[in-house]
Amino acid sequence: MNDRQQPLPYETTAITSAFGLGLHHVQLALPPGEEDVCRRFYVDVLGMTEIQKPPVLAARGGLWVRTDGLEIHLGVEEDFRPARKAHPGILVADIDALAEHLTGQGVKVTWDDNFPGHRRFYAIDCHENRLEFLSPDEETGP
């Protein structure tokens, strides 16, 4: 017998666990020696701020960036393959302004209206990792 409860409707917002779970960061991979390329995209284009990695982790290479409520760790992967399906879903306060900014920087933006209650688009980072940017639709809410 399965004691697991049935899935709740997506619109359910008051969901908690006994552990107080939250998201600290998302990690994406980058090829060895490509930190400067990532800086140009994540710092110069997206406007994030580079933060120092702890010394024991800095020896591994990579790049950590943070802004607002978002932290992304870009870790060196010797056998690098971009994440083309898996992706972070990044909340955006002004999705139209971000889309316009990215397009102006030469980043292709692909809009997708298949997530009810949200406006969203996908973009590809400097190493072909997929990024999703989304905002609750003002007309329908999340």
Q: Tens place of pLDDT for every residue, the chain, 142 residues?
A: 567 888 988 888 888 889 888 899 999 999 999 999 999 999 999 999 999 999 999 999 999 999 999 999 999 999 999 999 999 999 999 999 999 999 999 999 999 999 999 999 999 999 999 999 999 987 654 4
Q: Which 8-state DSSP code applies to residue 93?
A: S
The confidence score (pLDDT) of residue 141 equals 47
From the list 74, 62, 89, 63, the residue with the least C-alpha distance to 29 is 74
Residue 109 has a CB neighbour count (10 Å cut-off) of: 16
pTM greater than 0.85 (yes/no): yes
Cα within 13 Å of Cα(16), Cβ side? 4
The confidence score (pLDDT) of residue 142 equals 47
